[in-house]
Amino acid sequence: MTTEMTRTTCRILLLPILMISVGVLVKGYADIGDGFSAGVIASLGIILQGVAFGAEEFDRLPLVRYAPLATFAGLFLALAVAFLPVVSGDPIFLHHPVAGDSATHFGALEFITPVLFDIGVFLIVIGFCVGSIGAVARETVRRERDRGAQAETRRGSPGAPAERGDRR
């Protein structure tokens, strides 16, 4: 079990880490970093919670529960950005605004479709990293529970064979 200090620090760190990852994502076109790096940063922030609070708590986080679905949401978003231009007869991966046009600004931020594609990549990476670690976390929790139940039955009726044995 981790100390209170670790847990508090990790909880406080989560939001800044997510902020940084979003920053890396939206500024990716102008600066170092892109959807992939942003995704991994955010995933590491979320996984840090698992390290601090243990597998059971981790598995209960909504961010972890819905992560696998995020993968496919991201895939569809990326596919849409890539292939929707085909509908109007343009080549795939035609990004808007096209070369020469000026982009809409919001502060220093530019609204351009490559960022949408990068958001798709971001969602896929986050879904993959958090989703797989979440799957492992849930599996370990399940095994722990099985082992507990097994010990319980053994204690309850001495000599009776265990119903659910170790799988390996």
Task: State the residues that interact with other proteins by CB under 8 A.
Answer: 28-37, 40-41, 43-44, 47, 65-66, 68-69, 71-72, 74-75, 78-79, 82, 92-93, 95, 97, 99-100, 103, 110, 112, 114-115, 117-118, 120-121, 124-125, 127-129, 131-133, 135-140, 166, 168
In which residue are the tokens 């598995």 written? Answer: 59
- In the complex, the smallest distance separating the C-beta of residue 83 from other proteins, rounded to whole angstroms, is 9
- In the complex, the smallest distance separating the C-beta of residue 55 from other proteins, rounded to whole angstroms, is 9
Distance, in Å, from the CA atom of 68 to the CA atom of 48, rounded to the nearest integer, reads: 18
Burial zone of 18 (CB within 10 Å; 0-12 exposed, 13-18 middle, 19+ buried): middle
Distance, in Å, from the CA atom of 32 to the CA atom of 78, rounded to the nearest integer, reads: 21
- In the complex, the smallest distance separating the C-beta of residue 116 from other proteins, rounded to whole angstroms, is 9
Q: Measured from the CB atom, is 7 or 36 closer to other proteins?
A: 36
Distance, in Å, from the CA atom of 95 to the CA atom of 103, rounded to the nearest integer, reads: 11
